Amino acid sequence: MTAMLRSDDPEATLSDQELYEFADLLALRLYQDLGRRCYLLSRQDISELIYPYITDLDRRDRRALSWLVWNLLQEGAEIEYEIDQA
Amino acid sequence: MSSNYLNMLRGQRRRSSGFQITARTLLAILAFVAMAGSAAYWWGVQSQLTDNRIVAVAFTAILVLAPPSLVSFLIPWSPAGMLLQKVNARTWAFPVIIGCALYLLYYAFQLQWAWWAAQPVVAETNLVYQQVLIGMIGFIIIPALLWTPVSSDELVEQVRQAHLVKRYELQTQADIAILRATLLRAQEKALIGFANLTVQEREELAAVMQSLVSGIDRTLKEIGQTVKTVSGVALPFDSILDDNEDIRDVLEYIGDTLVNTSISEAQEAKPEQAALQASQPTRETRRPTPQTDPREAGYYQSRHRTRRLRRDEEDDE
């Protein structure tokens, strides 16, 4: 997963598209590993869990990714809640 | 930007809320269409029979709704429905439902037969009965199959009530058997004669009398509880005998008289003899008459008082 984002330039940051795709992959991975428990994670927890995958990224990207993954998981929680209500 | 993760979750929603057409769903659609057709058909027939539109509408409504609903009681479509039908078969309503359903089926058959027989093409091709049967199935049987007479909750409740009634019957029978056996034993003791009973037998007799009243009281309480459960009506059967002061006094008096007489005599004897006597059947040899016995004076006083009160009440009336 991280291979596709690896860059030789340490100062390089990811584009919005790349950030979103990466966050999507990370959210999917967290959901597969933790199931519905992933909805209970705080942004700090998410940062810790995804840290091994984003160590070589820029600090701003790491911060953006934790927020993006958290946001995706919250959207997923809303969708599952609607499924339960239906 | 689309998310694979969110798409996966949305896919779950589509799967979970996906509409599946089952035979039952198809039958529901068919029943709906058939009933709409039934309304049109019966309106055509009934409006020919009378010029009064209100009467025609009423009869149309009856013929569209009543036959399927009544026939639905006769065709259960679940194991619980079968059980409920067995239970309901013992009620008065069930023969009434059968009678009404059969008459409505007969009426629908006759009218449809007459209508189809009046159609030249059908009459010439001898398809009257076939057409009528198709109408009977479509207008009555299919909607009846779809409708359930009661909801699942009502079904569970009715089956539970039937179970309660059955349990109550069995319980009452068992209670009666126990009471009968106990009474027989008490009668045997009475035949021996109270004076010749051993201490153990007197204690038993006193306990029998106590437990008889308690047993009747318990049965009444259970009847009241069952009636309350089934109908929601509370009956005042809560310990009407057991808590009754007069009955309790009389029972305690009889018990004390039966037991204490021999025990007190045994206690009057020497301790070592009393110990020996307690293990052996003890017969009472001589006893003062009840009226002269000072121990029973209170009882006779109360009996006189009761009689006097009863006489006063009779005089008042």
pLDDT band at residue B114 under the 50/70/90 scheme? very high
- The answer to whether the CB atoms of B1 and A20 lie below 8 A apart is yes
pLDDT at residue B202 in the model:
75
Which residues in chain A are closer than 8 Å to B5, comparing Cβ atoms? 24, 27-28, 31, 72, 76
Choose from A4-18, B73-87, B88-102, B274-288 the range with maximum mean pLDDT: B88-102
Cβ-contact A74, A82 below 8 angstroms:
no
CA B239 to chain centre: 22
Residues 6+ apart with CB under 8 A from A82: B13
How far B32 CA lies from chain A's nearest CA (Å)?
A: 26
Choose from B9, B10, B19 for mutation: most chain A CBs within 10 A.
B9
Residue among B1, B4, B10 minimizing CB distance to A79: B10
pLDDT at residue B60 in the model:
93
Residue in chain A closest to B17 (alpha carbons) equals A86
Which residues in chain A are closer than 8 Å to B4, comparing Cβ atoms? 24-25, 28
Cβ-contact B136, B112 below 8 angstroms:
yes
Cβ-contact B143, B35 below 8 angstroms:
yes
Residue among A24, A82, A86 minimizing CB distance to B3: A24
Which residues in chain B are closer than 8 Å to A24, comparing Cβ atoms? 3-5
Q: Is B91 helix (H, G, I), strand (E, B) or coil?
A: coil
**Cα–Cα distance list, B304 to B125, B217, B298 (Å):** 97, 28, 10
pLDDT at residue B63 in the model:
92
pLDDT band at residue B198 under the 50/70/90 scheme? confident
Cβ-contact B74, B100 below 8 angstroms:
no
| pLDDT, mean of residues B54-71 | 92
- The answer to whether the CB atoms of B5 and A80 lie below 8 A apart is no
pLDDT at residue B152 in the model:
60
Mean pLDDT over all residues of chain B?
74
pLDDT at residue B302 in the model:
55
pLDDT band at residue B29 under the 50/70/90 scheme? confident
- The answer to whether the CB atoms of A82 and B9 lie below 8 A apart is no
Report the distance separating Cα A49 and Cα A69, nearest Å.
11
Report the distance separating Cα B9 and Cα A74, nearest Å.
12
pLDDT at residue B246 in the model:
65
**H or E stretch covering B203:** helix B199-231
pLDDT in tens, B71-100: 888 887 766 677 777 777 778 888 898 999
Residue in chain A closest to B13 (alpha carbons) equals A83
Q: Within a 10 A sphere around the Cβ of A64, how many other Cβ atoms?
A: 19
Residue B132 reports pLDDT greater than 90: yes
Q: Is B179 helix (H, G, I), strand (E, B) or coil?
A: helix
pLDDT > 70: what percent of chain B?
60
Residue among B4, B13, B17 minimizing CB distance to A28: B4
Q: Which of B40-54, B186-200, B217-231, B236-250 has the lowest mean pLDDT?
A: B236-250
pLDDT band at residue B101 under the 50/70/90 scheme? very high
Burial class, B250, CB count within 10 angstroms (exposed 0-12 / middle 13-18 / buried 19+):
middle
pLDDT at residue B80 in the model:
66
- The answer to whether the CB atoms of A79 and B9 lie below 8 A apart is yes
Q: Which of A27-41, B89-103, B169-183, B278-292 has the lowest mean pLDDT?
A: B278-292
pLDDT at residue B282 in the model:
45
Report the distance separating Cα B164 and Cα B107, nearest Å.
39
Choose from B46-55, B162-171, B204-213 the range with maximum mean pLDDT: B46-55
How far A52 CA lies from chain B's nearest CA (Å)?
A: 20
Report the distance separating Cα B1 and Cα B7, nearest Å.
11
User: For B195, which DSSP code?
Assistant: G
- The answer to whether the CB atoms of B16 and A80 lie below 8 A apart is no
Residue B57 reports pLDDT greater than 50: yes
- The answer to whether the CB atoms of B6 and A79 lie below 8 A apart is yes
pLDDT at residue B286 in the model:
46
pLDDT > 90: what percent of chain B?
22
Residue B301 reports pLDDT greater than 80: no
ipTM of the complex: 0.77
Q: Within a 10 A sphere around the Cβ of A14, how many other Cβ atoms?
A: 19
- The answer to whether the CB atoms of A25 and B4 lie below 8 A apart is yes
pLDDT at residue B43 in the model:
93
- The residue written with tokens 């809320």 in the block is B17
More confident residue, B175 or B228: B175
pTM above 0.90, yes or no: no
How far B25 CA lies from chain A's nearest CA (Å)?
A: 19
pLDDT band at residue B270 under the 50/70/90 scheme? very low
Residues in chain B: 317
* Interface size between A and B, measured as CB pairs under 8 A: 37
